[in-house]
Amino acid sequence: MLLIEGKAHAYVFASAGSKRWDTCAPEAILRELGGELTDMYGNRYNYEKTVAPNNSKGVLGTTFANDHSEYVQKVSSVIQGKL
């Protein structure tokens, strides 16, 4: 919500503890507002029913899609190999 409200620039959840149903609606809203949501390595989530529901590589959301790759580079270098 802080991203959507413009009160934060990035959301970093560097843990394997969330599921796709936790991120699907916020991702749709964030993308509509020009943001981006991926795993900690910059990969988009697949919401097809044949895919395991775990967000096993964390969640990274940013308010501006063009800033997202910069956050991915910084964050993924810190957590490399931990997720």
CATH number of the domain that residue 73 is part of: 3.40.190.80
* Pair 39, 17: CB distance under 8 Å: no
Reported as a single tens digit per residue, the pLDDT across 52-61 is 999 999 999 9
Name the residue range of residue 56's domain: 10-79
Is residue 25, in this structure, part of any structural domain at all? yes
Average pLDDT on 15-40 reads 93
pTM of the model: 0.89
Tokens read off for 31 = 């993308």
Mean pLDDT of 11-32: 93
Number of domains the chain is built from: 1
Q: Note whether residue 43 is domain-resident.
A: yes
Measured distance CA(79)–CA(57) in Å, rounded: 10
**Residue 74 belongs to a domain:** yes
Q: Per the domain annotation, does 28 fall within a domain?
A: yes
Query: Can you say whether the dihedral through the CA atoms of 21, 23, 26, 29 is positive or negative?
Result: negative
- Residue 81: phi and psi, rounded to 5, are 80, -5
Mean pLDDT of the chain: 91
Residue 3 lies in a domain: no
